Each structure stands twice: as structure tokens, then as C-alpha cells.
Structure 1
Amino acid sequence: MALAGLLVAAMAAGCEQDMADQPRYEPLEASDFFANGMASRPLVEGTVARGHLRTDTAFFEGTADGEPVAEFPLSTVAEKLGVEGNESQQLEHVLTRGQQRFDIFCAPCHDRVGSGNGMAVQRGFPAPPSLELTRLREAPVGHFYDVITRGFGRMPSYASQVPPADRWAIVAYVRALQLSQHAAADDLPAEDRDKLPKGDAAP
């Protein structure tokens, strides 16, 4: 019995491979093998992390030929958000998502209608410009995407908090807010126009 036990122990010891205990460098460990004294090697030029190949500059940067894009990339945004259906259904979903993200990240300063009088401003933070300003209503959609991505003035970058598809959803909602504050009655469906105040009734 004792001999059998010794035999099993000897066989088990032989199962351990050299790879289980091999000489290696830990991440960021110093090394005298390389000239710069670092074990970690720099990435080869042109290396792209999996899932981070971003050749669509219109979507990922909001630019085309170095200029802010003017056309909203609805189909790409819908695809990234996993939205199916026709264009109208896609737009409805994107706007709903944009409103949710706007209320979380933007409303504290811009308030929920984009006037620039959010709760942070009411507590002393410098007010951002109203989104209803003519220059902002006329700005291309790529401008708003760039501001969310890189920040502007006192506004910091939100690139780490808001992924590209959600940035575009916010842009869509910002444009909807702007249109809602400057829409003409003729832009409304007939059933909605009938709900508008008619003014003072005639005596």
C-alpha cells in the first residue's frame, strides 16, 4: 500500500509542466534586456484594439473631409443601438434614447428644454448658451457631436461617459428641441393644429 502511494505521488509530480512556473516579466516590470529598461513593449505602429477600428469618421468623429457633417447618420446610429424597423421607427427610438441621455448628462446645465438654466446654473455654475440661439440652430449636427466628444469652453468632454451612438442620439434630441421651440403651426398635423389656442374669443 505504501509503495502504491509513493508511486502515485511520483507520477503526480511529473504532471507539472514548465509553463506553470516559467521565468517571465510582470506588467510594467523593469528589465535590463531592453534599452529603455522596460519589460512592456510599445504597440507596433498601426495596431488597433479589437472592436476599435474606426474608419467611419462621419460617425465616430462627426466630420467629413475635416468639416462637421450636416446630415444625421440615422441608419448607422440605429444599427449601433440595435434598432430595427423602418426609418420612422428608428428615429422614434433614437429620439427616445436621446431624450433619456440628454436628461441625464445635459439637463443639469442646459435644463430639459435647452434654455441654459439648469439646476447647476441655478446653484451658481456659469450658464451655457441657449440651444435656441440662431447660430446653434443653424450649426451642423457634427458640431454638437464634436462638442459632446471634445468639450467646449467650460463644458468638459463626455467621451468617456457617452459612447458614440448615444452622442448621436443626444444630437438628434437637441435638434428636436430646437425645432420644437421654433416650429410653425403649419408644420403640425391638422388634429394637433386644432388644439392650439385660437386667441381671445370675439364678443
Structure 2
Amino acid sequence: MSPCTLLLIACLGVACPTLAGCDISMERQGKYKTEAPAPLFADGTSAQTPPDDTVAQGALAEEQAAQTPPPATPALLARGRERHDIFCKPCHGVSGEGDGMIVSRGFPRPPSYQDPHVRQATAAHLFDVITHGSGVMFPYAERIPAQDRWAIVAYIRALETTHDLDISGRPSPRTAGGRGS
């Protein structure tokens, strides 16, 4: 054998037992598991309250997005329609009349987007209802990002605006006397 081969075998003979004894897996790390006792802390539990002024990752950006409605663009309305179809259509229906499939299953009928109270509500109020829920409506803050909630609001406004138009873009005969049902 060459001297290089012998040197390599000697090095491996010394290094292998040392390396074989190292366990760098995540199974054997020093950590507290959920709900495990933790004598390190005064209350003895591993679940600790975050320090004051702790902000969850992404919370500041989400809060900023919630305060600033984006400009209405075709892309925003397309996103609003997509999100509306996923989250709102089961209850409010395709056109926002409150005739979604849940009504046929015995759930209460939600208000129509054409209801005067809904039409007169501010965009911020609609955003707040999507965020926190209202009546039997579930809050969607954890499921729909702020940007998408604004997109849904823009789409609801578009549905309200186009509700009274016929295919030519003129007010339909049924609502010619004013904003109707």
C-alpha cells in the first residue's frame, strides 16, 4: 500500500468512531415539547406568554394592508371575483342576492348586496364584516389576507353597480325609476 492510502486509513480509523457517536438529528436536541414541564421557567410550564410588544411575523405588513385599500383595477376585480367565488358564493350566491347553496340546506339567508344597508355601507365597513364576521357569518381574517379582502370588497361594489344595468350597459327597465332590488 502507498503511504497516502495508509494515512487515509489511519485518519478514517480515528475520525469514524468520533463521527459515528455524533447524533445531529433533531430528535435528540435539548428542547421542551408542547405542554411539557419546564423547570427553567418560574411557572414550570413550557408554554410561555410572549414578551410585551412582541409582534407576530408578518403582522405589521398585514395591518398596513388592512388600512390601505388598493386602487380598483381589472386585476383587483378579477382577484376579487375569484376569492368571492371561493369564500362568499356558497352563502351570498353568484350575484350576491343571498341565494347561495347554503340557503337550500336550511341555513339563514344572508343579506343581498342590493340591500340598502349594504349598498350604503362604506368599503371599510364591508372589509370589517369580512374580517370579523357579522351575525352568523364566520370571521375570515385568518383565512383571507387583507389584500384579498379588499379585492372582494371591490368585486361586491362592482356587483352592486352592474346589478341595475341591462346587457347594453343602460339601466334596466325594472329599475329605470331608481336603484331597485
Asked whether the two chains share a fold, i.e. TM above 0.5, the reply is yes
Equivalent in 54, 57, 67 of residue 50 of structure 1? 57
Superposition deviation, residue 154 in structure 1:
0.7
Aligned to 1:123: 105
Alpha-carbon distance in 2 for matches of 1:152, 1:139: 14
* Paired residue secondary structure (1:53): helix
Corresponding residue SS for 2:147: helix
2:38 is aligned with 1:31: yes
| Range with greater deviation from structure 2 (2-11 or 159-168) | 2-11
**Aligned counterparts, 1:67-146, within 5 A:** 73-75=69-71, 91-146=73-128
Alignment match, 2:14: 10
Give the deviation of 1:26 after TM superposition.
Answer: 2.7
Greater mean alpha carbon deviation, residues 30-39 or residues 45-54 = 45-54
- Residue 18 of structure 1, CA deviation: 9.5
Q: TM-score, normalised by structure 1?
A: 0.66
- Aligned residue type for 2:13: A
* Structure 2: runs of 5 or more not aligned: 174-181
Native 8 Å contact 1:149 1:159 kept in 2: yes
Please list every run of 5 or more consecutive structure 1 residues that lacks an aligned counterpart in the other structure.
63-71, 76-89, 198-203
Q: Return the alpha-carbon distance in structure 1 between the equivalents of residues 104 and 44 of structure 2.
A: 53
What is the aligned residue count? Answer: 165
1:144-193 CA-to-partner distances (Å, cap 9, x unmatched) read: 1111111110111122221111111110000111111246x9xx9xxx45
- Shift of residue 42 of structure 1? 3.0
Is contact 1:149-1:157 (8 Å) kept?
yes
Change (3 A) 1:3 1:112: closer
State the alpha-carbon separation in 1 of the partners of residues 133 and 16 from structure 2. Answer: 61
Q: Partner of 2:150 in structure 1?
A: 168
Identity of aligned residues (%): 36
CA distance in 2, matches of 1:4, 1:97: 62
Contact 2:32-2:38 at 8 Å conserved across structures: no
